[in-house]
Every structure is written in C-alpha cells, then in structure tokens.
A and B are shown apart, each in its own frame.
Chain A
Amino acid sequence: MTWTTHSYTTGEVLGSTKVTNLFSNFAALAGGHSGAPTFISSAFSPGALHQSHLASATASGTGSGTSYTLTGGTYSWWTAGGNGEPFNAGDTSAGVIGVSGISIDERYIQSSPPYNLGDGDIPLFMLATVAPSGAIVTLSVAPDPPWANNGPTNIAPERIDPVTRRGYRYYAMVGDTLLVDVLRTPRGRQQMLRGELDVRSVELEITQEIKNRDISVVPHNWPGLNPAASVVMLNPFSPASSRMWRLYEQLGAGELRRELFAFAQCSPSERQFSTPPGVVAADWSLRRG
C-alpha cells in the first residue's frame, strides 16, 4: 500500500482508479508509508496515550556488593527493595544505581527489539552470577539486554520502513566514526568544544550489529564485579526458557526473578550459543521446591 498524490481538474473523468487510490490513502496514512503526511504531536487528543500505547517491558534483578545497571537505563521507572544497606556504591553513572544487596524491579520503554546474537531472536535475557555449586547469587531477567539501553550507541529507530519493518536512525559522524565514540575521550570532547571536528549526519539501518554494538561495554548488569566472579547467560533457547517466556508474558519479570532465584540451578550449557564477552553459556533447571 503506497501513498498516492492526487490533483483533480475540472472536466476530467473521475475514474474508479482515482477514487480507489484516494480510499487507499487512509491505510497509507495510518501505516506511515513513503510520501504520506506524518502526524504531528497535536494531532493526538490530549491524554490520548495510555499505558498500553507505550512499548514497555518489565525487568527484574538483584545486586550484591556492586552497583546495578538498570536494564532500561535512563528509560526506566524503577523501585528497589533493600536489606538495610546504604544507598552508597561510589561512582556510578546514568542508568546505574549505587546500591548493594537489593532487589530491583523496572518498567522501561523499549528501544529496538528483537535482539539476536547470531543464534536466533532471544525472547528473554537471563543473566546471573553463580556460585561454584551452580546456585544463583545475583540475577537479571528482561526481554532486552542491558547493553541495549545503557551503551553509548543510541539504537532507537527514528524511522521504520512500513514494508520491511527495518529501523533507521540518523547518526552524527566524524569521518567514518560515530561522534559518540569520539566523545568518549576527554580529548575528543575538547576537540568538539574547540570546533575542530567536522560533524555530519548519516542515516544508517539499525542492524543487529548496531543493536549489539555496546555488548562489550555493558556485558551484564553488575559493573565493578570482581573479575573472578562467574557470570552466566542462561540458555534462552531451551524448552524451560520458552516456558519462562510464557510466564513472563503473564506475570512480568519480577515473579520470574523470584522463581529463578529460589529454585534455579545452573550447569555448563550443552548447546553453544553466543554470549557477551566474559559471560559463559549455561543451562538451567528447576530444583524441586
């Protein structure tokens, strides 16, 4: 369905094609097809957007002795339940809260699902730190990975092709380098402030490669974790994880986190699948409880 531009002149025959095209423009307008006018903010009735219009998801996790990176980053509404420890964990940053020994529940606005690390779309990311016994120490459950909303690369599409459903975004570039990468160094920031950088805007497709560009920057939710700690990604493709996804759809991440924390047991994964750097693939099963 495409948008058709029309003009009508006196004396011409009003054919069925023109009238049909005019009718089809309703769908082209609603679908955001090329050439169709786009709705501006005030075209919406005041208060038209309700909870269900937000593309939101829930995340839930626990921290212990480190800061905790909110899966939704700065797009997260969050609550934290503590165990009496202070709100204090040193220098953290946007989307990272300096708390320890706590449970966190989030609702966040999604940027760019689905996510695929090369083995198929992942419906639910379950990351954990585990003890040598396989018992879970800390846990994070969400449909989006922590690097999607916390890395320097903005992966939220500004335009979605109505036919292919592929997302696109304009990125500020310096040569072939994203401006955001240049600004990650104090030198780059000073160059920018002195007007020494030639910045241009380029529209790029948000591919899986771009979506996962910051995977090594935020590989999991626990910055400052002891490097010797064992961080695992629970097999998202197992039958048990598929059932977990069904539960997530009904109950949200908080209930899953409590369930997994109480009853899950991890073991080395029998199936190889891609994981973030420093994160090991693991299988999991429920203990009787």
Chain B
Amino acid sequence: LAWTNLTYIYGSQLTATKMNQLYDNFAAMAGANTGAPRLASASLETALVTQSRLSTATASGLAGGTYTLVGGTYSWWTASSTGGEFVDTGITGAGLSSISGSAYYDERYIQASPPYDFGDGAIPLFLFMVIGDNRQFSAAPDPVWHYNPGAAHPFRGQRAVLLNPFSKTIERLALMHAHMSSRDYAELVPYLRISPVAVAFRLPVAVELADVRLQ
C-alpha cells in the first residue's frame, strides 16, 4: 500500500476514497512505504529493544594468528584458549583479534543486510576452513567481507576455502547453526570431507571454493 498525503478542506466532501486512504496509511507507515513518516527516536519507548528485537546472528571460529571477527566492529565476542597458553597480542585493527597460540572465537553481531544472494540463490551459511589445517574454521550466516572490507575470509595471512553453501551438508548445518558454539563446531569439523568444487558459484570476492560432505 502506498502512503497518501491527505488534506481536508473546510466545506469539501469527505469521500469514501479519502477515508480508505486514511485507513491504509496505517499500514503504509508501518511498512515504511515511500512518503510515509519515519519513527523518530523521541517517539519510541525507552528500553524497548530486547534481545529478540535485535537482528543478530552468531559466528563461531577456531583460529591461530590473526582472526577477523565476522561481525567486525558490530561484534560482541569472547575468545578462549584451545588448551595451551593463549596470549592476546593485541587488537590489531577494527574487527581483528591477534593472538599467539590458537583460540575459539564466539561472536554475536548485529546484522547489516541479510540474506546474501550473489546470483545463485540465498546463501544460508558461510563456512570457511583453512587449507592444510582441518581444525581452523569460521562459520556464520553473514560473509566476513560485509563487515570487514577487503577480507575474503577471516584468516589473515593464511589460505582458506569456502565450503559449497548450496550443498545438503551446509544447508542442514545452517539449521543447526544458532544452537552451535565454537566448541560444538570443533567437534564436528573433523567429520567434514572436502573435495574440489564440482559447480562454480558466484561471489563478490575472490575466494577459493570446495565441496563438502559428511564423512
């Protein structure tokens, strides 16, 4: 429904059309249709934004070296050692964490613009794995480059592949994702078998691709 600007002039006829347009303006305003007024800060109750009002998602990762937070500077995150000494060597830039040793990362971030469809259908889950190290991974429903311009994957200084997001395995993993922490993924990742990708799909960044199936 479109927003209709209405004026009522003294002496003019109040028609059914004008009344229906007035009524339809409620839906047009809620739906942010063109021309409708927007809700300003002062019109909103305080403390109205609870957890479920925020458009958030979680990201999980296990990485050594420098790790790019999927949610960038919109990320709440915790990191913890995978076992040995874990020394945080500093925040190396907005949205980046640098460590010695390896660490689990768990993020919750405010989403920018889901879903992501680059021409082959909406991608439900971006699961990256480091080439040559089947422990390091990053899983999130948003692509890391969306919050960190220039990042093709989260593992700075390493090579990584994106697992075919249109495979059955990733499709099902996407349904589980909200219930999975980094340690849950770490248990699961060794069971994933990666092979050269059979069908190419389009992405806005140059990133290596791979097919995946559950062992």
Residue positions of A touching B, CB distance < 8 A: 6-12, 14, 22, 25, 29, 36-45, 47-50, 52-56, 67, 70, 74-77, 86-98, 109-112, 152, 154, 156-158, 169, 172, 179-180, 183, 186, 189-190, 192-195, 199
Contacts and interface: CB of A to CB of B under 8 A. Distances in A.
16 contacts: A7-B20, A43-B36, A43-B39, A45-B38, A48-B40, A74-B108, A86-B87, A90-B83, A91-B83, A93-B104, A96-B80, A97-B78, A112-B50, A192-B172, A193-B172, A194-B214
B35 to A, nearest CB: 13
Given A37-B31, A95-B106, A183 B49 contact: no
B133 interface: no
A276 B24 CA distance: 51
B12 to A, nearest CB: 14
A15 to B, nearest CB: 12
Most A CB contacts (10 A, CB to CB) among B38, B80, B173 go to B80
B5 interface: no
A8 B20 contact: yes
B181 A156 contact: no
Contact of B51 (A89, A156, A179, A195): A156
B49 A54 contact: yes
A105 B47 CA distance: 20
Interface string B1-43: 0000000000000111001101100110111100010111100
B172 A195 contact: yes
B168 interface: yes
Across the A-B interface, the 5 shortest Cβ-Cβ residue pairs: A94-B106, A37-B30, A92-B80, A74-B108, A156-B51
Given A9-B16, A14-B19, A157-B50, A193 B26 contact: no
A110 B51 contact: yes
Nearest to B180: A183
Q: Give the size category of B's interface with A.
A: 35 or more
B40 to A, nearest CB: 5
B66 interface: no
Interface of B: 14-16, 19-20, 22-23, 26-27, 29-32, 36, 38-41, 44-52, 54-56, 58, 60, 76, 78-83, 85-88, 104, 106-108, 168-169, 172-173, 175-176, 178-184, 187-188, 191, 214
Contacts of B182: 93-94
B78 to A, nearest CB: 5
Given A43-B39, A190-B191, A89 B30 contact: no
A189 B186 CA distance: 12
A211 B182 CA distance: 24
B16 A8 contact: yes
B178 to A, nearest CB: 8
User: Which of A14, A86, A94: most chain B CB closer than 10 A?
Assistant: A94
Contacts of B183: 91, 93
Given A37-B31, A53-B47, A189 B52 contact: no
Given A109-B50, A158-B52, A190-B191, A90 B41 contact: no
A33 to B, nearest CB: 12
A88 B175 CA distance: 32
A180 B15 CA distance: 55
A89 B41 CA distance: 43
B80 A43 contact: no
A86 B86 contact: yes
B44 A88 contact: no
A88 B86 contact: yes
B176 to A, nearest CB: 5
A77 B47 CA distance: 17
A91 to B, nearest CB: 7
Contact of B80 (A6, A41, A49, A91): A91
A177 B39 CA distance: 41
A156 B51 CA distance: 6
Nearest to B46: A52
